[in-house]
């Protein structure tokens, strides 16, 4: 057929349009697949059908789909048990780390105040970005004025290593230690909190937002049971974290602003490390406590069974300390069932 100027012009326009369409589709597919990247920042909620932890990446060579969270426990709804009474707590979860299986779940995607469970993320970020022998100097900001806030007695000008500060942070749950760690690692609390939130996103903990490194109450400082599982699951990859949370007590010597020695001894706030009974065949390796009036009583544990298989268990917003531990013990019993 003879190509008139009009026909040629139309054909050229069509060809150009087709090329642009193909390019747009290619870029869209490239964006969605992430070009091999393994990080997804799509937020999830309890009732959202499409979310970060459900996204899959394609293996082109085999043409199969591999779950994004293939090495994680995933849970979309409550998983209950007749032998667990969790009526006096707002949220709870039990996660089998070897089998990547969720054994129990109550409100695991509900946003709750974490209290001092926050300090697990503080320790994780510090361990990821600094070494234990890093020297820290306390600023005036370590003076915590909030009534009832747990402190280790650190004063302005005190000097200690990051290793020492992390022991006071995780064992004694010192809020002053949290400030000292944050400022020492990042230069300011604000910069450190930004690092905490960046790490949360990288782990897929997208229902979490931190505003401080210690967990004292702030309405914009929140997390979920599931997100705390993700955070602890990452933190236990660090040997120093595991070493600290397994100790029942700790004594160290540091210096004040004048260079004089100061000794401090603290006990682990985790009752299971102080003799609280554990279900038969189980060993509590360690964990982190957290308590404020708004958060209630919280506890996150790493436990192993008689075969050495590890589990993470979390209870949040229990009505009292005694109820926290009785409900946690019921939850741990599920490992043996």
Q: Which residues are catalytic?
A: 116, 119, 173
Residue for token pair 């032998």: 83
DSSP string for 219-275:
TT-BB-HHHHHHHHHHHTTSHHHHHHHT-SEEEEEEE-TTS-EEEEEEE-S-GGGGT
Q: Of 163, 181, 170, whose CA–CA distance to 249 is shortest?
A: 170
**Contact of 112 with 314, CB cutoff 8 Å:** no
Please tell me the distance from the alpha carbon of residue 230 to that of residue 203, in angstroms, as a whole number.
Answer: 7
Cα 75 to Cα 60, 103, 111: the distances in Å are: 27, 9, 15
Q: Which residues pair with 136 in a beta bridge?
A: 160
Distance of CA 72 to the CA centre of its chain: 13
Biggest distance spanned by C-alpha atoms of the chain: 98
- Please tell me what DSSP assigns to residue 6: H
The pairing of strands 89-96 and 159-161 is unpaired
Count CB atoms within 10 A of the CB of residue 159.
16
- What backbone torsions phi and psi does residue 298 show, to the nearest 5 degrees? -125, 150
In this structure, the chain runs to a length of: 337
């Amino acid at each position: 057929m003879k190509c008139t100027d009009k026909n040629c012009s139309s054909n050229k326009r069509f060809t150009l349009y087709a090329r642009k369409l193909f390019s747009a589709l290619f870029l869209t597919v490239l964006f969605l697949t992430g070009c091999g990247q393994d990080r997804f920042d799509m937020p999830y909620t309890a009732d959202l059908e499409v979310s970060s932890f459900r996204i899959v990446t394609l293996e082109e060579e085999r043409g199969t789909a591999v779950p994004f969270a293939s090495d994680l426990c995933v849970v979309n709804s409550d998983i209950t048990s007749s032998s667990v009474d969790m009526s006096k707590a707002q949220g709870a979860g039990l996660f089998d780390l070897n089998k990547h299986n969720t054994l129990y779940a109550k409100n695991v995607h509900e946003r709750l105040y974490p209290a001092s469970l926050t300090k697990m993320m503080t320790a994780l970020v510090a361990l990821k970005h600094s070494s234990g022998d890093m020297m820290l100097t306390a600023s005036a900001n370590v003076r915590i004025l909030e009534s009832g806030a747990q402190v280790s007695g650190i004063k302005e000008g005190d000097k200690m290593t990051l290793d020492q500060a992390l022991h006071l942070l995780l064992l004694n749950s010192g809020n002053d230690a949290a400030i000292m760690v944050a400022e020492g690692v990042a230069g300011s609390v604000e910069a450190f909190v930004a690092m905490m939130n960046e790490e949360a996103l990288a782990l897929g903990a997208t229902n979490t937002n931190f505003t401080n490194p210690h967990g004292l109450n702030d309405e914009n400082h929140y997390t979920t049971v599931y997100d705390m599982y993700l955070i602890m699951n990452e933190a236990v990859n660090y040997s120093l974290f595991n070493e600290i949370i397994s100790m029942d007590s700790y004594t160290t010597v540091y210096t004040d602003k004048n260079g004089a020695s100061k000794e401090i001894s603290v006990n682990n706030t985790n009752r299971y490390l102080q003799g609280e009974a554990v279900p038969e065949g189980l060993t509590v390796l360690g964990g982190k406590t957290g308590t404020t009036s708004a958060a209630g009583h919280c506890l996150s544990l790493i436990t192993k069974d008689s075969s050495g298989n590890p589990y993470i268990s979390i209870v949040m917003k229990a009505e009292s300390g005694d109820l926290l531990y009785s409900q946690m013990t019921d939850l741990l019993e599920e490992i043996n069932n």
